Amino acid sequence: MDAIQQHMIDSYRAAQRGELPPPLPGRHDWAVVRGARDRRRFDAVIAGRPARGRWRAALRSLITRGRGTGGPGGSGVPGPSPVGPAECL
């Protein structure tokens, strides 16, 4: 039985008893996500870590760490070799 079928049964049962029908499936999903995010931020503040921007800071450190080992533009792509191919042998 999926969520819609269960909701239909619960709605029927609530109507028979004169109660309010249950909320639609998925109605409070975003509220749960926001609650989890708020809890994670709260735990970070209590632990003394920054509460916001941790993902961006982590991605920025990964990106900037790779820039020092690249070509002239710092794109991570190796640039031309300073010695010719015959001198490498």
The Cα 37–Cα 30 span in angstroms is 10
User: How many other CB atoms are there within 10 angstroms of residue 76's CB atom?
Assistant: 13
More confident residue, 84 or 32: 32
Over residues 13-36, the mean pLDDT reads 93
The first and second tokens of residue 84, run together, are 């010719």
- DSSP code string of 18-73: TPPPPPPTTTTHHHHHHHHHHHHHHHHHHHTS-SS-HHHHHHHHHHHHHHTTSSTT
**Residues 33-87: pLDDT tens digits?**
999 999 999 998 899 887 777 777 788 888 888 665 554 555 555 555 555 555 5
pTM summary value? 0.44
Confidence of residue 10 (pLDDT cuts 50, 70, 90): very high
